[in-house]
Amino acid sequence: MLKGKQIPKIIWPLLALAAILLFNLLFTDHFFRITIRDGHLFGSLIDILRRCAPTMIMAIAMTYVIATGGIDISVGSVLAISGSIASLVVWGGSTNYLAGDDEAIYAAVGLIILIPLLASLALGAFNGLMVSVVGLQPFIATLILMTAGRGIAQLLTGGKVLNFSHAGFEFVGRGYFLGIPFPFILAMLVLLLGLAITKLTPMGLYIQAVGGNRSASQYSGINTKFVILFVYIFSGFAAGLAGLVMTADITGADAGFMGLYMELDAILAVVIGGTPMEGGKYNLKGTVVGVLIIQTLTTTILTRGVPPEYTTIVKAIVVLAVLIIQSRKVRELIEHRTMIRAAKEAESV
């Protein structure tokens, strides 16, 4: 009997990433050059790691949400709320910083980070309760916060762009640790946190079970409401953290535009990574690669000086190509062919 040689699914997004990198190796000068300046690594590749961090943080949490059969489209707005609160805290709660005495009211880094994160956890819990207890469809439940959230963020900042300079807090978005951009280290920490929760506790199994068959999960004794609540809280937390990174990076919060459409990038990364939208399975490594694909693509387009009006189109075409390669039909076709070839080889031996 032929032993089914299963091609691991991660191979497809990895191939796509390799293809984009190969393109750059051939056609983009200095893309792979990494230099050391002031003890920090510099170069296009390092830039990719730094810039992809907010999306990666959100996409990791989004992977779990999608694995339960849900979706969280409010993360962009939660990000904006978190960033706005952070800027507010920097200014001691005052939006009148332009009036003058701005030196005295700078807050401690701990507070600037803690308060927005607590708010984001609460927002995630709101989403989770809407989905698990109230029973709203995830898309609708998180649509509420997606639209209302941006309004809340703008109300918080009084419609102003809150700029600041705060050496301690800026490190979150701009710093380097052991030469590596700090935001990327944060993203890796979120990845580790996610892995710890899902591998060291049964949460990973429960998430897949709930996404695969909620009714059967309930019959198995799983507290399905709690599992669903958890993934949305984690997603809220991740969006809040991403908001801190972005705010610290641009040293300001523009409530109207921060994180706009980023929920779509996060969802796209999850899907490119091979996690099915219908839930029941997830591929965390795939998500990480998916984020890298999106960011590498964006950086490539920018460094090659493609006119900005084309960037979204180019991005869409590449993403479409990746998704087509990954589609079950195409994959089955390829696997079928390799199986036939293997069978023929086995016969000829």
| Residue 131 CA: distances (Å) to CA of 98, 142, 235 | 42, 9, 13
Smallest distance from the beta carbon of 67 to another protein, in angstroms?
9
Q: How far apart are CA 314 and CA 308, in angstroms?
A: 10
Q: Kindly report the length of the chain.
A: 349
> Are 111 and 90 spatial neighbours (Cβ–Cβ below 8 Å)?
no
Report the residue from 211, 252, 273, 286 that binds another protein according to the rule CB under 8 A.
211
Q: How far apart are CA 226 and CA 230, in angstroms?
A: 6
Question: Does residue 137 belong to the site contacting another protein (CB under 8 A)?
Answer: no
| Residue 5 CA: distances (Å) to CA of 90, 191, 257, 273 | 56, 29, 47, 21
Question: Does residue 26 belong to the site contacting another protein (CB under 8 A)?
Answer: no
Select 260 or 339, whichever has its Cβ closest to another protein. 339
Smallest distance from the beta carbon of 64 to another protein, in angstroms?
14
Q: How far apart are CA 195 and CA 218, in angstroms?
A: 24
| Residue 112 CA: distances (Å) to CA of 135, 249, 269 | 34, 14, 29
Select 119 or 209, whichever has its Cβ closest to another protein. 209
Report the residue from 77, 208, 235, 287 that binds another protein according to the rule CB under 8 A.
208
Report the residue from 96, 147, 165, 201 that binds another protein according to the rule CB under 8 A.
201
Q: Tell me if residue 220 falls in helix, strand or coil.
A: coil
Smallest distance from the beta carbon of 9 to another protein, in angstroms?
13
Question: Does residue 10 belong to the site contacting another protein (CB under 8 A)?
Answer: no
Q: Where are the beta strands (DSSP E) in the chain?
A: 35-37, 40-42, 162-163, 176-177, 180-181, 252-253
Considering only the stretches 159-167, 208-216, 237-245, 253-261, report the one whose residues sit in contact with another protein under the rule CB under 8 A.
208-216
Select 165 or 220, whichever has its Cβ closest to another protein. 220
Nearby residues of 333 by Cβ (< 8 Å), 6 or more positions away: none
Select 39 or 221, whichever has its Cβ closest to another protein. 221
Q: How far apart are CA 48 and CA 184, in angstroms?
A: 9
Residue 238, CB-side half-sphere exposure with 13 Å CA sphere: 34
Segment 327 to 346, residues that bind another protein, using CB under 8 A = none
Query: C-alpha 127: how far from its chain's center?
Result: 17
Token digits of residue 34: 């990494």
What is the total count of residues that contact another protein (CB under 8 A)? Answer: 23
Report the residue from 11, 19, 193, 205 that binds another protein according to the rule CB under 8 A.
205
Considering only the stretches 17-25, 151-159, 203-211, 297-305, report the one whose residues sit in contact with another protein under the rule CB under 8 A.
203-211
Smallest distance from the beta carbon of 2 to another protein, in angstroms?
12
Nearby residues of 217 by Cβ (< 8 Å), 6 or more positions away: 206, 209, 210, 224, 227
Select 100 or 221, whichever has its Cβ closest to another protein. 221
Report the residue from 104, 134, 200, 349 that binds another protein according to the rule CB under 8 A.
200
> Are 57 and 186 spatial neighbours (Cβ–Cβ below 8 Å)?
yes
Report the residue from 43, 151, 168, 212 that binds another protein according to the rule CB under 8 A.
212
Q: Which helix (H) or strand (E) holds 177?
A: strand 176-177
Segment 243 to 302, residues that bind another protein, using CB under 8 A = 279-281
Q: How far apart are CA 186 and CA 192, in angstroms?
A: 10
Question: Does residue 63 belong to the site contacting another protein (CB under 8 A)?
Answer: no
Segment 217 to 246, residues that bind another protein, using CB under 8 A = 217-223
Smallest distance from the beta carbon of 206 to another protein, in angstroms?
8
Considering only the stretches 52-60, 150-158, 216-224, 329-337, report the one whose residues sit in contact with another protein under the rule CB under 8 A.
216-224
Question: Does residue 22 belong to the site contacting another protein (CB under 8 A)?
Answer: no
Considering only the stretches 8-16, 123-131, 201-209, 286-294, report the one whose residues sit in contact with another protein under the rule CB under 8 A.
201-209
> Are 74 and 127 spatial neighbours (Cβ–Cβ below 8 Å)?
yes
The contact set with another protein (CB under 8 A) reads 199-203, 205, 208-209, 211-213, 215-223, 279-281
